[in-house]
């Protein structure tokens, strides 16, 4: 089979023609066709040490995925790259009703164990490598600047591109796996210098540090899939330390879910912005000015889709994307302080904090883990979205400070400060 639209190397052409077997040829063909759809000019090698897969859930309805995985395993196409995967969809520590458990275990995620077995055979880094924050030090799937990736988890793609300077398109699920099986990805979009230029200059003119999840939402909804170049945020963030990384993680996930951002540059902070400055801007970029009034406008525009708008929250989810070690310790202190002020010992609303298993392991080594538990908070590795994604959970009044969770589920968004107030003082939703 000859490919006349995309320029392939001899080796790539040979794989396409079956030099590594029929299954590998099909994998290559899928990627070539995928690239052609987006105007790719060729295929480039993946250079990161590990891949990351978005499909981590053994959803009963995903039969074709299990068949595909089985074919890859039997054809000896185990991923040449080991990989991490998105979070698990279930954790028995997370509060759930009898009915929810039946739905999770027997209807939705009944193939979880089987699918995890397939992932292990195909090249999962280790049995607990399930998190969307695979790039954190504790997890160790941290690409270097310039690395070419084949990821598709949107919050991880935008982090890797923006904060780490790696190069990755917003691929679809399964394409991420195919890329890492054959070790090539199509060259287009965010893999190219041109595709990494910013069409928007976003000026931050707020009187205080903007809420990460709110700012990301505002920018995502305005620029959609374009690349923004953000100025004036370095004033609030300082340097790229652990606190800034956590801020950008949450900010980026909101840009990627409330819009479709795959890369942003923050002047004075992110690597390409430091190296190239305003050279990254296209000629005559669009301008978006964000002040406190604009952030309030965005916040007020969120619809509340709870059945009873004034219902008392039944659950609070924090950690979408998964929390960092610093966030877990800082929130422990904030909750203790809030409870002390309220004269209470335990949180007023069932609350779940989520983080990567590797981060939780480190957290357990600190005295903060037992202090957080003593305050009544459940610590979990679950993906809150996978918990919410069914009619039973959707009918529950759930609160969160994750703008991604708000966007994809019925969960109601509050700022971090408002969440703290509600879980420690038991304030009603308003």
- The residues that touch ligand F3S, with contacts defined as CB under 6 A, are 86-87, 132, 155, 253, 320-322, 383-385, 404
Structure tokens at 364: 């357990």
DSSP 14-66: HHHTTTT-HHHHHHHHHHHHHHHHTT--BEEE--SS-EEES-----TT-HHHH
Ramachandran region, residue 426 (left: φ > 0; alpha: ψ -120 to 50; beta: rest): left
Among residues 132 and 369, whose Cβ is nearest to ligand F3S?
132
Least CB distance to ligand F3S at residue 401 (A): 12
Q: d(Cα 351, Cα 344) in Å, to the nearest integer?
A: 15
Least CB distance to ligand F3S at residue 404 (A): 5
Least CB distance to ligand F3S at residue 320 (A): 3
Among residues 318 and 348, whose Cβ is nearest to ligand F3S?
318
Strands 51-53 and 83-85, bridge-based pairing: parallel
Among residues 187 and 322, whose Cβ is nearest to ligand F3S?
322
Bond before 401 cis per omega within 30 degrees = no
Least CB distance to ligand F3S at residue 68 (A): 21
Least CB distance to ligand F3S at residue 388 (A): 9
- The answer to whether 179 and 46 are in contact (CB under 8 A) is yes
Helix, strand, coil % in the chain, rounded to nearest 5: 45, 15, 40
Among residues 169 and 354, whose Cβ is nearest to ligand F3S?
354
Q: Is 184 helix (H, G, I), strand (E, B) or coil?
A: strand
Among residues 204 and 253, whose Cβ is nearest to ligand F3S?
253
Least CB distance to ligand F3S at residue 123 (A): 20
Among residues 12 and 152, whose Cβ is nearest to ligand F3S?
152
Angle at 407 (CA atoms; ends 404, 409), nearest 5 degrees? 100
């Amino acid at each position: 089979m000859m490919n006349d639209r995309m320029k392939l190397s001899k080796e790539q052409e040979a794989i396409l023609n079956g030099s590594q077997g029929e299954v590998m040829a099909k994998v290559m063909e899928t990627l070539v066709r995928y690239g052609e759809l987006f105007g790719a000019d060729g295929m480039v090698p993946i250079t990161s040490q590990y891949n990351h897969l978005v499909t981590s859930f053994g959803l009963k309805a995903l039969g074709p995925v299990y068949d595909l995985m089985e074919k890859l395993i039997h054809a000896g196409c185990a991923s040449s790259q080991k990989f991490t995967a998105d979070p698990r969809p279930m954790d028995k520590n997370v509060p759930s009703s009898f009915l929810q458990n039946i739905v999770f275990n027997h209807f939705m995620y009944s193939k979880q164990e089987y699918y995890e077995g397939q992932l292990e055979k195909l090249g999962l880094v280790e049995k607990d490598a399930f998190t969307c924050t695979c790039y954190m030090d504790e997890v160790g799937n941290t690409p270097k600047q310039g690395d070419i990736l084949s990821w598709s988890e949107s919050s991880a793609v935008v982090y890797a591109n923006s904060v780490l300077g790696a190069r990755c398109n917003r691929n679809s699920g399964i394409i991420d796996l195919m890329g890492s099986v054959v070790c090539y990805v199509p060259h287009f979009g965010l893999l190219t210098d041109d595709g990494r230029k910013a069409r928007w200059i976003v000026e931050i003119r707020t009187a205080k540090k903007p809420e990460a999840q709110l700012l990301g939402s505002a920018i995502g909804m305005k620029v959609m899939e374009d690349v923004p170049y953000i100025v004036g945020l370095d004033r609030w963030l300082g340097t790229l330390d652990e606190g800034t990384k956590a801020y950008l993680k949450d900010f980026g996930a909101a840009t990627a879910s409330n819009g479709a951002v795959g890369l942003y540059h923050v002047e004075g902070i992110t690597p390409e912005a430091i190296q190239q400055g305003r050279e990254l801007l296209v000629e005559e970029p669009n301008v978006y000015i964000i002040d406190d009034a604009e952030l309030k406008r965005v916040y007020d525009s969120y619809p509340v889709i709870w059945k009873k708008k004034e219902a008392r929250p039944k659950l609070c989810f924090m950690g979408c994307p998964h929390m960092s070690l610093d966030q877990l310790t800082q929130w422990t202190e904030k909750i203790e302080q809030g409870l002390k002020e309220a004269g209470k010992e335990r949180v007023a609303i069932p609350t779940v904090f989520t983080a990567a298993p590797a981060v939780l392991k480190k957290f357990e080594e600190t005295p903060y883990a037992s202090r957080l538990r003593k305050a009544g908070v459940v610590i979990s590795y679950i993906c809150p979205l996978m918990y919410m994604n069914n009619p039973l959970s959707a009918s529950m009044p759930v609160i969160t400070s994750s703008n991604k969770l708000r966007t994809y589920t019925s969960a109601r968004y509050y700022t971090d400060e408002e969440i703290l107030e509600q879980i420690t003082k038991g304030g009603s939703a308003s």
